[in-house]
Structure 1
Amino acid sequence: MITLVAACGALMAAAVPAQAAPKDPVSALKATLVAGHGVRFTDTVTWSDGTDEEGARDSKGVFQFGKKGIAAFDISMISGDERERVISIGKTGYYSGGDVARVLPDGKTWYKGKGGAIPDSWAQFLNPAEPKTLAALIKNGKSKGNSITGSITVKELKAVSAWIAAAGIDKQHEGIKISYTLTLASTGLVSGARSSYTVTEDGDSNMVTVDSRYTGWGSKVSIKAPNPSTVTTETR
């Protein structure tokens, strides 16, 4: 009987799986950065004045990777009745819908401009598809389970993030502090990013919260420029 109990104990011990070592998020990200592949995401933006909260905008998009990080992105945005879309390929940006649509010449639906940047201040400032940005967010935050929580200023982000550096944010806004929570999948890749920050204008303070979800890390992606016949560099 003693032998049987000992044997059962050994079997039970063997059946308990060893605790897997946590995956390094930056290494996991770098492994997915293959040209022609990318990641899809959705953003939900809410606005609050401290009393009332309302949905400001919903977005969905995709990042395409190149040899040196993000090579292109395509984002569609819905805000009330407004529909907007921005495509960025290299250092060229294409914009349609919203205010842009109201100033385009007849027969044109896209405006072509220089530079690729986030569409506006209601986009997700944090870009977990950038290794340097992800490393900074991990360094500034505290890990607990599968989440990382912390805060970072716009100035600190500009120093590591091409996504933010290209946005042309004024120095007067560099002191804005962004609070964030990253959620990691079992692979170590970011599956969610929630950020919030306060903007003060004319003495009124409002909080903007952006909740993002990321799927399909490493899947094949192909972002193309709009049909040339629909594109213009002029406005009315």
Structure 2
Amino acid sequence: MKRVIARVAMATVTASVAVTASVFVAATPVQAAPADPVKALTGQFTTGKGVRFTDVATLLDFAGNTSILKRTGSFQFGKAGIVASDITAKRTSDDAEALAVLSWILPKPERTIRIGTTSYYSGGAWAPPKGKTWIKHPRGMNAGLSGSYGQIVNVAEPSTLKVLVTRGKRTGRTYSGTVSLGTLEKVSPWLRSADLSVLTGTGGLSKSEKATVVRFTLTLGPDQLPRKLVTVYPPGTHVSAAVGEDRRLSIETDYTGWGSRVTVKAPPANKVANMGKREPTLRGGGRG
């Protein structure tokens, strides 16, 4: 009898241990795989959807900070990424600092609609012929003449986002680091179409510009999509050469409405004047 009781007791203890172990295993949380911001971004690429953004350009120097430019815009996506954009830029200051940088390229607000590689410019320094309000360029700048002073680092491009999250040091959902303009130029169609050289046909960045280092801080939302990007450019770049040796250009961009409906349409054809590949018609400067 004692042997039977002992065997029953042993079986009971074994079963109890097995149940306890199974409960412990079930209660242990499964470690989620690290989120992939690039995958989250490409998951947004649905025809007719997009994202909106606002960015502010600020001159930084030892005497203080001066906001000089604000842009509002939207990107429309297709299945492979950005297919169109609509961006409006305006000066936010008329003091000497802002005028020294932007007076000739942004005498009044400028709007740029870009569909594929075709750009439509209105306002700013553009001078369409009488009866027209837009100038069309078949392979134009993505954000008009003021585009070089806006956010040229475009994290709505998977290739650009990948560079930043790969090179940046991550703290929570924030990535901070540095990257050269030359590295970005290789992977970013947006950067390659941001400069005036698109119009003049002089090519891309110079050797010294390629070597220029940009500091960045990128913050993602809980969905791993970009929410805020801050970039700071040193002097001597194509962006800030006119700013001066003791100054920097800081650009802060906020992204909202990921996955919202975005539709970018070309201006009415009867309001558009065609421009040759290298013939920008500007106020005060004629063709250049």
TM range (shorter): 0.7 to 0.9
Q: Distance in 1 between matches of 2:30 and 2:177?
A: 30
Answer yes or no: is 1:123 the counterpart of 2:150.
yes
SS at match of 1:43: strand
Quote how far apart the aligned CAs of 1:18 are. 7.6
CA contact (8 A) 1:50 1:207 kept: no
Quote how far apart the aligned CAs of 1:220 are. 1.6
176-185 or 201-210, which deviates more: 201-210
Identity of aligned residues (%): 39
Name the amino acid aligned to 1:178. Answer: V
Quote how far apart the aligned CAs of 1:152 are. 0.7
- Given candidates 53, 59, 62, the residue that maps to 1:50 is 62
Counterpart of 2:81?
69
Quote how far apart the aligned CAs of 1:65 are. 0.9
Q: Distance in 2 between matches of 1:184 and 1:144?
A: 11
- Given candidates 176, 182, 195, the residue that maps to 1:155 is 182
Structure 2, gaps ≥5 residues long: 1-22, 93-106, 198-203, 276-280
Greater strand fraction, Structure 1 or Structure 2: 1
- Once the two structures are superposed, the pairs formed by residues 136-155 of structure 1 within 5 Å of their partners are 136-155=163-182
Quote how far apart the aligned CAs of 1:136 are. 0.7
Name the amino acid aligned to 1:189. Answer: L
Which structure has more RCO (C-alpha within 8 Å, separation ≥ 6)?
1
Task: For residues 97-119 of structure 1, give each alpha carbon's deviation from its aligned partner in whole angstroms, at most 9, with x where no partner exists.
Answer: 1111xx22122111111224343
Q: Distance in 2 between matches of 1:204 and 1:181?
A: 23
Answer yes or no: is 1:217 the counterpart of 2:229.
no
Counterpart of 1:166?
193
- Once the two structures are superposed, the pairs formed by residues 59-138 of structure 1 within 5 Å of their partners are 59-80=71-92, 82-100=108-126, 103-119=127-143, 120-138=147-165
Answer yes or no: is 1:38 the counterpart of 2:50.
yes
SS at match of 2:149: coil
Q: Distance in 2 between matches of 1:183 and 1:117?
A: 27
CA contact (8 A) 1:23 1:186 kept: no
CA RMSD between the two structures: 2.3
Answer yes or no: is 1:187 the counterpart of 2:238.
no
Specify whether residues 82 and 76 from structure 1 end up closer, same or farther in structure 2 by C-alpha distance, changes over 3 A only: same
Quote how far apart the aligned CAs of 1:87 are. 0.5
Select the structure of larger CA radius of gyration: 2
CA contact (8 A) 2:119 2:142 kept: no
Quote how far apart the aligned CAs of 1:21 are. 5.3
SS at match of 1:99: coil
CA contact (8 A) 1:86 1:93 kept: yes
32-41 or 115-124, which deviates more: 115-124
Q: Distance in 1 between matches of 2:229 and 2:268?
A: 33
Q: Distance in 1 between matches of 2:37 and 2:141?
A: 24
Structure 1, gaps ≥5 residues long: 1-9
Number of matched residues?
222
Answer yes or no: is 1:207 the counterpart of 2:244.
no
Q: Distance in 2 between matches of 1:166 and 1:197?
A: 18
Task: For residues 44-84 of structure 1, give each alpha carbon's deviation from its aligned partner in whole angstroms, at most 9, with x where no partner exists.
Answer: 11012332321111111000112321101000111147211
CA contact (8 A) 1:78 1:84 kept: yes
Q: Distance in 1 between matches of 2:228 and 2:141?
A: 21
